[in-house]
């Protein structure tokens, strides 16, 4: 019997068999299209996105669920597919890749690394080192911080100083700040408050809030520079306005004691609360002292201070 006779029988208008065959043919074509659009194309896209650091595994799982179940229960297959995407697929896609991965990729773009882009920390550090040795200031700064903290590499203060000095001399504020920390604490270099103040000043004048907070402290206590409460207030305020809890706490101290500003308990309290709400234990303790007339509130802030680690609060 010919194929035409099978597909188009003589009793075509009345044949249930024909209708079944046509339906089966349409179902087969539909499954083929589904497999192409919901499995093959997504699979290719998954491979592409993986190279870009994006995880589409949940979407692929949804596609597989769709295909598997569409052959038996099309409606249920569609439900599983949409569910997999809404629960996992979209979230996996919009999550940014790890910072190490991003930085490694940028370094590879700069120095044309031949290795495949991976999330492997060792390869990332190898790539940053290549970039740093070719004069990439961002890579130099990053390596300096890693060696200073001992993150991903063996802690080495000498190497930290080496890598931080290069970008700092070219005006990188973050490197200048960390060099200031090294000179303040004597890490990798002889302890030197003057050099620490110098680097803090360079970074602070570029708007780096943590450097402004440290410089305010140096001006308040006359470390490496002449004591100057007015300048201490200036830099504390700049840092406090950018949300640095330590600067908010110190600014509260200055208003409470009248250092560089008129004594003002109300403003002192405002800055103490700002710092305490960010987890500054000593600020929370000061708030508890200011609220001694309100026993309930005072105890609440005292407990917060103790929880955040205030020894004074724990002994009270």
Indicate if the pLDDT at residue 122 is higher than 90.
no
Q: Where are the domains of the chain?
A: 3-94
**Cα 126 → chain centroid:** 21
Q: Give me the torsion for CA of 108, 109, 113, 114, rounded to 10°.
A: 120
* pLDDT, tens digit (0-9, with 9 covering 90-100), for 33-66: 776 666 566 655 545 544 444 444 444 444 444 4
Do 89 and 62 contact (CB within 8 A), yes or no? Answer: yes
Which has the higher per-residue pLDDT, 156 or 122?
156
Indicate if the pLDDT at residue 117 is higher than 60.
no
Indicate if the pLDDT at residue 5 is higher than 60.
no
Which has the higher per-residue pLDDT, 202 or 104?
202
Q: How confident is the model at residue 313 (pLDDT cuts 50, 70, 90)?
A: confident
Residue 23, helix vs strand vs coil: helix
Nearest to 102 by CA among 123, 122, 119, 125: 119
User: What is residue 283's predicted lDDT score, i.e. its pLDDT?
Assistant: 94
Distance linking the first and last C-alpha atoms of the chain:
100
Q: At what angle do helices 281-290 and 265-276 cross, to 10 degrees?
A: 140
User: What is residue 21's predicted lDDT score, i.e. its pLDDT?
Assistant: 65
Supply the DSSP string of 260-316, one letter for each residue: SS---HHHHHHHHHHHHTTT-HHHHHHHHHHTTTSHHHHHHHHHHHHHHT-HHHHH-
User: What is residue 95's predicted lDDT score, i.e. its pLDDT?
Assistant: 32
In the numeric block, the tokens 């910072």 are attached to 99
User: What is residue 16's predicted lDDT score, i.e. its pLDDT?
Assistant: 52
User: What is residue 20's predicted lDDT score, i.e. its pLDDT?
Assistant: 61
CA atoms within 13 Å, Cβ hemisphere of 2? 5
User: What is residue 18's predicted lDDT score, i.e. its pLDDT?
Assistant: 59
When pLDDT is averaged across residues 119-134 and rounded to a whole number, the result is 84
Q: What is the pTM of this model?
A: 0.62
* pLDDT, tens digit (0-9, with 9 covering 90-100), for 203-251: 999 999 999 999 999 999 999 999 999 999 999 999 999 999 999 999 9
Indicate if the pLDDT at residue 96 is higher than 50.
no
User: What is residue 116's predicted lDDT score, i.e. its pLDDT?
Assistant: 37
Do 84 and 61 contact (CB within 8 A), yes or no? Answer: yes
When pLDDT is averaged across residues 297-310 and rounded to a whole number, the result is 91
**Cα 97 → chain centroid:** 10
CA atoms within 13 Å, Cβ hemisphere of 263? 3
Q: How confident is the model at residue 199 (pLDDT cuts 50, 70, 90)?
A: very high
User: What is residue 19's predicted lDDT score, i.e. its pLDDT?
Assistant: 63
Six-digit token pair at 283?
């600020």
CA-to-CA separations, 46 to 35, 38, 42, 251, 299, in angstroms, rounded: 15, 12, 6, 52, 55
């Amino acid at each position: 019997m010919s194929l035409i006779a099978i597909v188009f029988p003589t009793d075509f208008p009345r044949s249930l068999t024909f209708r079944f065959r046509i339906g089966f043919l349409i179902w087969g074509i539909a499954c083929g299209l589904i497999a192409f659009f919901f499995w093959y194309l997504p699979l290719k896209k998954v491979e592409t996105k993986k190279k870009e650091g994006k995880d589409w595994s949940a979407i692929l799982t949804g596609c597989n669920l769709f295909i598997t179940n569409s052959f038996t229960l099309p409606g249920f297959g569609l439900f599983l597919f949409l569910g997999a995407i809404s629960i996992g697929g979209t979230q996996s896609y919009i999550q940014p890749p790890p910072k190490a991965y991003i930085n490694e990729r940028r370094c590879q773009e700069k120095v044309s690394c031949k290795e495949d882009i991976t999330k492997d920390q060792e390869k990332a550090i190898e790539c940053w080192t290549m970039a740093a040795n070719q004069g990439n200031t961002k890579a130099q700064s990053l390596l300096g911080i890693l060696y200073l903290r001992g993150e991903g590499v063996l802690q080495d203060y000498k190497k930290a100083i080496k890598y931080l000095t290069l970008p700092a001399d070219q005006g990188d504020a973050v490197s200048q700040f960390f060099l200031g920390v090294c000179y303040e604490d004597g890490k990798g270099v002889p302890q030197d408050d003057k050099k620490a103040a110098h680097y803090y000043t360079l970074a602070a004048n570029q708007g780096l809030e943590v450097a402004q907070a440290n410089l305010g402290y140096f001006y308040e206590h006359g470390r490496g520079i002449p004591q100057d409460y007015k300048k201490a207030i200036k830099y504390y305020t700049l840092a406090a306005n950018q949300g640095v809890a330590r600067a908010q706490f110190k600014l509260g101290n200055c208003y409470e004691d009248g250092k560089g500003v008129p004594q003002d308990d109300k403003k002192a309290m405002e800055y103490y609360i700002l710092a305490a709400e960010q987890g500054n234990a000593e600020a929370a303790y000061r708030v508890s002292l200011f609220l001694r007339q309100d026993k309930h509130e005072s105890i609440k802030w005292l407990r917060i201070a103790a929880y955040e680690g205030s020894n004074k609060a724990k002994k009270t």
